[in-house]
Amino acid sequence: MTVQWKKGARCKVKPDVAHRVFEKVRKEKGHVDLSEIVRISKPHKAPLHNEFEWDDKKCGVAHRREQARYMVRKIEVVHDKTGVSSRQYESATIHVVEPGKDAEPKVRKVFTTTEEILKDPDARAELLSNAIREALAFRRRYSQLSELANVIRAIDDSVGGVAL
């Protein structure tokens, strides 16, 4: 497995360094928590410190979360056996209990690995729903291209009659 930034990513830190930080957070929190990435990156010696704007006059907490989100979305893994690259972390809807708040779980979107999503029936259903929605959008957008007739037919056979 090789970790790299997607083409055009504007990140200075080496991708394997960022990946280690993301994985540490994912293992501790159960998902890639953007606020946690920002929190552990605040010390000057933290590996991702220089990827964030720390001057509160220029930006605030929300902007730093967006900077973390940018990095998480720009990292990808190249699978050594196939040479195919893919996003490491997918966005999924899962139940997360916010510490210090009421005991009721709050549903929100978080980043985690596809492997973890597939283990959770609710997150898997959300991923499948997103995939079907995207397949149908692809079908609508490109159905006039004869070169994609086999792809369109496969979409029709698989999800054509599915209502979302």
Please, what are the averages of pLDDT over each run of 10 residues along the chain (164 residues)? 88 94 91 92 96 89 90 82 65 51 63 80 82 89 93 85 56
CB 94 within 8 A of CB 112: yes
| pTM of the entire predicted model | 0.64
Write down the pLDDT at residue 87.
64
Cα 102 to the chain's mean position, in Å?
27
Please give the single-letter amino acid code of residue 69.
Answer: R
Element (H, E) at 111: strand 106-113
